[in-house]
Homo-oligomer: A and B are copies of this chain.
Amino acid sequence: MERAAAALDGEVRLLLATREQRYTGQRREIVHALAGLGRPATIAELLAATRDLPQSTAYRNLAVLADADVVRRVSGPDGFARFELSEALSGDHHHHVVCESCGLVIDAATSPRLEAALAETARLIAEANGFEVTEHRLELVGRCRRCRAAAC
């Protein structure tokens, strides 16, 4: 993990440098908390996972990190914003599964077949509507294992 953490820091520093932003201790804490969690985290989760991170600083730094394409903002089923390391950084395109009962959001692997169908859909949309489709977001909605077990 030492090596991976150092490589992550190097990439983040580079992305921030292109926007003339510094890679401060708090920003590193946020990035490493997100890397450790491995799923989209709310502000509350980030505050719990770090030491001495004021709420206003968390919001401001997440905006900076999102602008530098270090993190991505994901909207969950509840009203809370969630954040994860960007696909540019992790190099792994994926989708999300959300539990409509407890709000949990986890990553879901994609597949060549699904991506091919999505690409074809995007092409048809472009033809029919003049819309240029640059990315897609897919959420699979349901109930997580825990909520199913606890169900009445």
A residues adjacent to B (C-beta < 8 A): 75, 95, 97, 99-100, 106, 108-111, 113-114, 116-118, 120-122, 124-125, 129-145, 148
Q: Which residue of B lies closest to A99 (CB)?
A: B131
A134 in contact with B144 given A120-B113, A129-B106 (CB within 8 Å): no
Copies of this chain in the oligomer = 2
Query: Looking at the complex, which one of B125, B129, B132, B142 makes contact with A133 (CB distance below 8 Å)?
Result: B142
CB atoms of B136 and A138 under 8 A apart: yes
Q: Which residues of B contact A134 (CB under 8 A)?
A: 100, 141-143
List residues of chain B with CB within 8 A of the CB of A111.
117, 120-121, 124
Contacts of A75 in B (CB 8 A): 75
